[in-house]
Amino acid sequence: MQFYKERLLSPGQLKRLNEHKYSCTSVSLMDPFLQPWWNWLVSKVPLWLAPNLITIIGLVINILTTLILVWHSPDARIEAPRWACLLCALGLFIYQSLDAIDGKQARRTGTQSPLGELFDHGCDSISTVFVALSACIAVQLGYYPTWMFFQCFCAMTLFYCAHWQTYVSGTLRFGKVDVTEAQFTIMGIHVISGIFGPSVWMMEIPIPGLGTINNSAAAIFYAGYIHVFVEFCRVFESGGVGKNGSTIAGTSVLSPIIPFSFVVVPAFIIYRKSAEHVYENHPALYILAFGMVAAKVTNRLVVAHMTKNEMQYLDTALIGPAMLFLNQYFNFFIKEYYVLWLCLIWVTLDLLRYSSQVCLEICDHLKIMLFRIPVGGHRIGTSQTSIITEKNVHMVVEQEPLLDEEYHHGSDTSFDL
């Protein structure tokens, strides 16, 4: 049964999506050391638990633990309880672990599909917003609103850039210091804040010739961002894999900058022009609102990459920021705080609508189910059906080291709809 009137994906896009093959390279420093933990963890997961459900559980836990932190420090200046910081570290660890084993579970149950990659990255785009925000609250970066703005939007931008380079090169590349290392760094920040209190980060760091950095955690964030951004720029040295150095969709390698600029530029302008200082007074709410817009645009880029299609520049999620912008233009006819809440509600519902409809269209095309493993362990994309047995599971676990070289984390997860 179809629950939508107008399709978001054309038959051609669905056909190319079905033909899509996940391509990834990784030289992560930490992943090899974590593989034994991930392999042990997935061996304890019941065979009936669908891979997509694993990631959803991790994402929900990550969001809930972050919202607890936001509840206690909505302005990122109030010192959050130490137990909330430790809880956030635990939530991020659970999310990271579950995100790493969803692909392994898909291989155990023979339920890999292109939708797995799409769903996995979609969850990551949302998680990025909450992880960045929680880190800012844990170090009380609200005392430096411009730095907090820069930190959160850098995290969203670099996640977008990772998929931008995939759109250009056709391969998702992870460096020696990348996602896993960043996640464990933020876990460490939460643990330190939980043990010594968030105020421990408020020390000044002298930098010769540049003055001082007033928040030591900020130096860690920015050093990592610079490293990842330099690696991202190197992708463009050889051009794209498409015709005449274009993207996989045959478009300009610079074209993805346009839709994302429609998120970042209005966010900065509204922040700077607000007479009510809506961002400084409500930074968490502001970051979440624009973070959901960034997640929606990133999802559109992932879909464009996997379907080898041109990315549309305008998006319905931009209606949220437009409400804030127009409210400022007409001299704050409505209190900005209420408009900001309307913006958050709109973009969240729009993101959920888009994601659910795309998933429904893909599952309708691939004839797969939502949050369930097909009876008999049908392997997506083949005419072969395999019964899930303990013998099959042991065979998959034995082959895991070879598979882990092909896939990074669990991004090949099958999210069976």
Catalytic residue ranges: 121
Could you write out the DSSP letters of every residue in 266-305? HHHHHHHH-TT-HHHHSHHHHHHHHHHHHHHHHHHHHHHH
Tell me which H or E stretch contains 65. helix 51-72
Q: Taking the CA of residue 350 as centre, how many other CA atoms within 13 Å lie in the half-sphere pointing to its CB?
A: 24
- CA 202 – CA 224 distance, rounded (Å): 19
CB 122 within 8 A of CB 356: no
Gyration radius of the chain's alpha carbons: 21
CA triple 46-51-53, angle to 5 deg: 90
- CA 358 – CA 8 distance, rounded (Å): 7
Exposed, middle or buried, 74 (CB in 10 Å: 0-12/13-18/19+)?
middle
Structure tokens belonging to residue 408: 């990074």
